[in-house]
Amino acid sequence: MFQFNGFNMMFPDHSRPFSTTYKCYSVSMLPGNERQDVENGGKIIMPPSALDQLTRLNVVYPMLFKLTNGSINRSTHAGVLEFVADEGKIYIPYWMMHNLLLEEGDMVEIESVSIPVATYSKFQPQSVEFLDITNPKAVLENCLRNFACLTTGDLIAIKYNNTTYELSVLETKPGPAVTIIECDMNVEFAPPVGYTEPERKEKEEEPMTIDPTELMPEPTGFVAFKGEGTRLDGKKKKDSGANDAPQIQRQNYVRGIPDYDHPFGLLRFDRSIRKAEQNDSKPEESKFEEFQGEGFSLKKNRK
How does DSSP assign 247-287, residue by residue? PPPPPPP------TTPPTT------PPPPPP--TTSPPPPP
Domain boundary among 90, 112, 134: 112
List the domain range (segments joined by +) for residue 127. Answer: 120-189
What's residue 12's pLDDT?
47
Of 116, 99, 110, 95, the C-alpha closest to 180 is 116
Q: Which has the higher per-residue pLDDT, 60 or 301?
A: 60
Residue 96 lies in a domain: yes
Helix (H, G, I), strand (E, B) or coil at 17: coil
- The pLDDT confidence band at residue 2, using thresholds 50, 70 and 90, is very low
Helix (H, G, I), strand (E, B) or coil at 176: coil
Domain boundary among 65, 95, 112: 112
CATH number for the domain harbouring residue 24: 2.40.40.50
Residue 251 lies in a domain: no
Same domain for 95 and 32: yes
pLDDT tens for each residue of 197-231? 888 777 776 666 676 666 666 666 666 666 677 77
Of 112, 134, 130, 94, the C-alpha closest to 57 is 112
Report d(CA 171, CA 150) in Å as an integer.
9
Contact (Cβ atoms closer than 8 angstroms) between residue 85 and residue 46: yes
What's residue 250's pLDDT?
64
The verdict on whether omega for the bond into residue 136 sits within 30 degrees of 0, i.e. cis, is no
Give the number of domains in the chain: 2
- The pLDDT confidence band at residue 6, using thresholds 50, 70 and 90, is very low
Which of 8-22, 38-52, 273-287 holds the top average pLDDT?
38-52
Same domain for 78 and 25: yes
Of 72, 80, 69, the C-alpha closest to 18 is 80
Q: Mean pLDDT throughout 255-274? A: 76
What's residue 7's pLDDT?
40
Contact (Cβ atoms closer than 8 angstroms) between residue 156 and residue 213: no
Contact (Cβ atoms closer than 8 angstroms) between residue 90 and residue 45: yes
3-state helix, strand and coil shares in percent for the chain, rounded to the nearest 5:
15, 25, 60
Of 154, 24, 139, 32, the C-alpha closest to 95 is 154
What's residue 258's pLDDT?
76
Q: Which has the higher per-residue pLDDT, 292 or 109?
A: 109
Question: DSSP H helical segments within the chain, as ranges?
Answer: 7-10, 36-39, 48-56, 94-100, 136-143
What's residue 118's pLDDT?
93
Q: Which amino acid is at 208?
A: M
Task: Return the bridge partners of 142, or none.
Answer: none
Domain boundary among 171, 189, 207: 189
Q: Mean pLDDT throughout 157-172? A: 90
Is 302's pLDDT higher than 80?
Answer: no
Residue 278 lies in a domain: no
Same domain for 30 and 87: yes
Same domain for 61 and 89: yes
Residue 240 lies in a domain: no
